[in-house]
């Protein structure tokens, strides 16, 4: 999952970014409204964390502009303003969620994940495909009742495939959603991780869930097949 | 008087009283004068009427007297009996007074006989002796039955030229005085009126000189004949010739005196007078009544007007003050949430317009001030909460999983930075709070501005150099001022920090210290981005930041200049600036020189 963090306070940026990355998210950062606009319009982010008080362009106007343009990424507003009016104004401007500073980091995480789940119509935190059980809240994986340990990257990849179950995801898409701008784009990183994943998830289980579509990408087996 | 309404009413009533008083007095006088004039003319009329009536009454009496006198004159007879003269002569001429006989015959007084003049003599062609005889023989008489021409109450006296007279019975022994000269002077047929008194009774008398048209001469013993009485009978068929006017020469004259008491006339006159008095009184009464009525009406109108003005005025004024009341309630509706004055401009009377206008403007100002404070508060909360969030998140992150020492050190470093940032902000807020509450006290000392400035410069030099900004200072000798040293240092440091922060890379800062008529002056000139025109009026406001993004460095939070201005002004100085966008800004601080 790829996130955009828009915040101009450096210490906060450092802390939040590190925390999110440690949780397996790919995080891009913008320090002012202009940069944020540019990045949001060129990359498809799963969630944008937006601070309202920004230099150059006010956060809310930016948001309104995005929504007008049809940008459908989820947006969480991060702000020091905590009055009801501010919350209402923020939500009415097109935000999906609102978090006030100072905040608990865990809360930020949970809300981000909730938004992602919403995207994929998975209201329940547990995703079940065949005998695969993925608890997106606890970030645990079980297959046929057996717990499988995955690294954060592996988990993110599996979760991504699971959210797109039955659909082909191209390498490009995988790359975009799992790796931030600073990671080097080596084309077989994706392949490598697919292999890692297969080792853990498919090996010893039936049916194989991670499928290859030559020339197109990968896919997690859907329920119908 | 506290109430406008009451004083308005009172004054208008006073004015009304004065006006009405004047008008009433005027009207009263005019009416009075008019009535008086009218009364005057009516009185004159009545007077004339009265006089006329009196005259009429008098004339009536006089006319009746005259008429009766004439009647008597026309029937009086002069009878001459020669035989009688003889008898008389015998009686002697010594008899002076008249003696009355029932028939009214009287002896002629001697002087009457002696007063015979030649004219008589000429006329009568009778000798003197014969004349006396004639006189003696003549007597006046009213024919029987003719005495009815007078009443018992009337007094008649007939006198002929030589004293023969006839008196009415009512005269008794009395006699009217006669002025024979006057008698002689009178023309025939003429008459005179006068008033006589007889034994206490007032009489009105007419004296008529009339020719005797009937006289008889009887010659006892000598024959009988009638004197000329009438002219020759006119021939039938022809116009009778005009009757010959008897003249003094042709016939003797008598003086008929007819008098009547004036009782009736007086009574009538009295009645007339009474009537006159009554009418006068009535007229006077009428005019008085009219005057009284006018006065009453004036009073009534005055009182009525008073009542109307009082009542109507009370109500009207209340109505006119209605906008004031509405204004009051509109003002009371103004609250912190809703600062706008809701008052319909069209309904504002012109007197209230200035007030309403000023109120609206004041409220607008307040609203803006509130908005500014609110915004400032929002900014402030952001400026405090953000480093706090950083602090919190950093510590959470650090504790999330086991980490290496180096990582922990980094985290702790970040925490410290955030804490420092917050601490600075809190400090500035406290300074402002202290200034506002008056707790902060200045401790003036004599300081050398140049010295203090150069020390501050050396403190900020590393910061300037880190940004590549050149610092320089020029000054002429010492510039001593009486100020609080600590505060001065803060101000200078703040200005320098601003100059550095808002400067271009490779820019420069020039600091000048000098003296200027009674003041010491500090100037800090930078080659920075300048202050935008829109921001210039607000530069010294609390929490104001021209560019809201500039909080990241956390040095000022928009309070530095506000605090500086507060300090400078408390020290008795002034702070101002000049700026050109894109080129730079110069801040200027004047402080009172050492006293």
The Cα angle at residue B6 between residues B5 and B10, in degrees rounded to 5: 120
Q: Judge whether residue B95 has pLDDT over 70.
A: no
Is B328 in CB contact (< 8 Å) with chain A? no
Please say whether the dihedral angle defined by the alpha carbons of residues B412, B416, B419 and B421, taken in this order, is positive or negative: negative
Q: What was the pLDDT predicted at B224? A: 42
Q: What are B201's strand-pairing partners?
A: B198
Contact state of A11 with B382 under an 8 Å Cβ cutoff: no
Q: How many CB pairs under 8 A join A and B?
A: 84
Decide which of B429 and A90 is more confident: A90
At B434, the pLDDT band (50, 70, 90 cuts) reads: confident
Q: Which residues of B touch A101 (CB under 8 A)?
A: 382, 385-386, 388-389
Q: pLDDT higher for B289 or B543?
A: B289
Average pLDDT rounded to a whole number, residues B532-550: 72
* Pick among B337, B381, B385, B386 to test the A interface (most A CBs inside 10 A): B386
User: Which residues in chain B have their CB less than 8 angstroms from residue A106's CB?
Assistant: 396
Q: Which residue has the tokens 């008429």?
A: B67
Please name which of B466, B474, B544 lies closest in space to residue B501, comparing C-alpha atoms.
Answer: B466
Check whether B92 has a pLDDT greater than 50: no
Give the DSSP letter of residue B528: B
Find which of A5, A6, A7, A9 to mutate to test the B interface (most B CBs within 10 Å of its CB): A9
Check B548 against A12: CB less than 8 A apart. Answer: no
pLDDT number for residue B504: 82
Digit-coded pLDDT (tens) for B402-420: 889 998 998 998 899 889 8
What average pLDDT score do residues B446-464 get?
88
The widest CA-to-CA distance across chain A, in whole angstroms, is 56
- Cβ–Cβ below 8 Å for A32 and B386: no
Angle of helix B485-501 relative to helix B560-570, nearest 10 degrees?
150
Q: What is the pLDDT of residue B412?
A: 92
Binned at pLDDT 50, 70 and 90, residue B1 comes out as low
| B110 has a pLDDT exceeding 50 | no
pLDDT higher than threshold 50 for residue B227:
no
B397: nearest CB among A8, A100, A105: A105
* B73 neighbors B79 (Cβ within 8 angstroms): no
pLDDT digits (tens, 9 = 90+) for B233-256: 555 555 666 665 555 455 667 788
Tell me, what DSSP letter sits at residue B96?
Answer: -
pLDDT tens digit string along A26-44? 899 998 888 898 998 888 8
What is the rounded distance in angstroms from the CA atom of residue A119 to the CA atom of residue A112?
11
- Worst-scoring range by mean pLDDT, A202-206, B437-441, B528-532? B437-441
Q: Percent of chain B having pLDDT more than 70? A: 77
B418 reaches A (C-beta below 8 A): yes
Q: Do B414 and A106 touch (CB under 8 A)?
A: no
Chain B residues with CB-CB distance to A80 below 8 A: 378, 381-386, 389
- Does the pLDDT of residue B148 top 70, yes or no? no
pLDDT band at residue B105 using 50, 70 and 90 as cut-offs = very low
Rounded to two decimals, what is the model's pTM?
A: 0.48
pLDDT tens by residue, B513-539: 888 888 888 999 999 888 888 888 878
Rg (CA), chain B: 71
């Amino acid at each position: 999952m790829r996130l955009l963090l828009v915040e101009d306070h450096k210490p906060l940026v450092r802390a939040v970014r590190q925390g999110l990355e440690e949780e397996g998210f790919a995080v891009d950062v913008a320090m002012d409204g202009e940069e944020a606009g540019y990045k949001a319009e060129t990359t498809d982010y799963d969630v944008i964390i937006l601070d309202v008080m920004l230099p150059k362009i006010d956060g809310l106007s930016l948001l309104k502009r995005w929504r007008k343009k049809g940008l459908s990424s989820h947006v969480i507003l991060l702000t020091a303003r905590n009055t009801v009016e501010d919350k209402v104004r923020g939500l009415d401007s097109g935000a999906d969620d609102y978090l006030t500073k100072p905040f608990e980091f865990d809360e930020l995480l949970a809300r981000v994940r909730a938004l992602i789940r919403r995207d994929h119509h998975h209201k329940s935190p547990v995703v079940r495909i065949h005998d695969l059980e993925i608890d997106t809240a606890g970030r645990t994986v079980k297959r046929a009742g057996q717990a499988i340990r995955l690294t954060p990257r592996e988990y993110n990849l599996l979760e991504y495939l699971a959210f797109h179950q039955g659909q082909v995801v191209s390498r490009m898409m995988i790359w975009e959603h799992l790796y931030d701008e600073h990671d080097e784009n080596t084309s077989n990183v994706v392949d490598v991780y697919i292999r890692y994943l297969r080792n853990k998830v498919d090996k010893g289980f039936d049916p194989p869930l991670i499928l290859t579509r030559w020339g197109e990408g990968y896919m997690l087996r859907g329920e119908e097949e | 008087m506290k109430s406008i309404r009451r004083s308005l009413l009172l004054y208008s009533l006073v004015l009304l009283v004065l006006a009405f008083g004047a008008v009433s007095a005027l009207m009263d006088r005019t009416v009075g004068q008019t009535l008086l004039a009218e009364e005057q003319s009516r009185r004159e009329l009545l007077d004339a009427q009265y006089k006329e009536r009196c005259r009429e009454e008098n004339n009536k009496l006089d006319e009746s007297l005259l008429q009766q006198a004439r009647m008597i004159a026309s029937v009086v007879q002069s009878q001459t009996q020669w035989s009688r003269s003889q008898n008389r002569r015998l009686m002697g001429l010594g008899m002076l007074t008249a003696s009355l006989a029932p028939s009214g015959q009287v002896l002629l007084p001697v002087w009457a006989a002696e007063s015979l003049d030649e004219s008589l003599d000429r006329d009568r062609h009778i000798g003197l002796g014969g004349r006396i005889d004639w006189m003696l023989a003549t007597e006046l008489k009213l024919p029987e039955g003719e005495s009815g021409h007078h009443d018992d109450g009337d007094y008649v006296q007939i006198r002929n030229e030589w004293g023969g007279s006839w008196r009415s019975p009512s005269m008794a022994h009395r006699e009217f005085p006669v002025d024979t000269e006057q008698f002689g002077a009178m023309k025939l047929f003429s008459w005179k009126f006068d008033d006589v008194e007889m034994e206490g009774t007032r009489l009105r008398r007419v004296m008529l000189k009339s020719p005797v048209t009937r006289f008889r001469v009887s010659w006892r013993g000598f024959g009988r004949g009638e004197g000329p009485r009438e002219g020759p009978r006119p021939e039938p068929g022809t116009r009778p010739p005009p009757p010959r006017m008897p003249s003094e020469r042709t016939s003797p004259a008598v003086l008929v005196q007819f008098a009547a008491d004036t009782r009736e006339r007086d009574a009538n006159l009295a009645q007339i007078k009474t009537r006159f008095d009554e009418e006068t009184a009535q007229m006077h009464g009428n005019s008085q009544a009219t005057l009284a009525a006018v006065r009453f009406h004036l009073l009534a109108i005055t009182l009525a007007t008073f009542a109307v003005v009082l009542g109507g005025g009370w109500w009207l004024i209340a109505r006119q003050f209605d906008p004031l009341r509405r204004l009051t309630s509109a003002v009371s509706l103004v609250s912190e949430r809703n600062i706008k004055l809701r008052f319909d401009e069209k309904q504002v009377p012109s007197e209230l317009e200035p007030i309403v206008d000023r109120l609206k403007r004041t409220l607008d100002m307040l609203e803006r001030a509130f908005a500014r404070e609110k915004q400032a508060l929002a900014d402030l909360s952001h400026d405090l909460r953000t480093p706090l969030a950083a602090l919190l998140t950093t510590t959470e992150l650090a504790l999330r999983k086991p980490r290496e020492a180096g990582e922990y050190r980094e985290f702790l470093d970040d925490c410290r930075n955030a804490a420092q940032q917050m601490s600075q902000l809190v400090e500035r807020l406290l300074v402002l709070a202290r200034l506002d509450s008056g707790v902060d006290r200045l401790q003036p000392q004599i300081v050398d501005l140049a010295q203090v400035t150069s020390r501050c410069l050396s403190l900020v030099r590393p910061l300037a150099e880190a940004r590549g900004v050149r610092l320089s200072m020029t000054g002429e000798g010492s510039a001593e001022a009486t100020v609080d040293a600590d505060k001065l240092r803060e101000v200078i440091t703040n200005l320098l920090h601003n100059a550095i922060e808002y400067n271009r890379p490779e820019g420069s800062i020039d600091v000048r210290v000098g003296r200027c008529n009674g003041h010491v002056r500090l100037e800090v000139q930078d080659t920075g981005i300048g202050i935008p025109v829109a921001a210039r009026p607000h530069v010294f406001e609390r929490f104001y930041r021209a560019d809201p993004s500039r909080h990241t460095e956390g040095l000022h939070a928009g309070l530095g200049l506000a605090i500086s201005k507060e300090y400078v002004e408390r020290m008795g100085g002034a702070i101002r600036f000049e700026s050109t966008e894109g080129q730079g800004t110069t801040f200027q601080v004047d402080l009172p020189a050492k006293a």
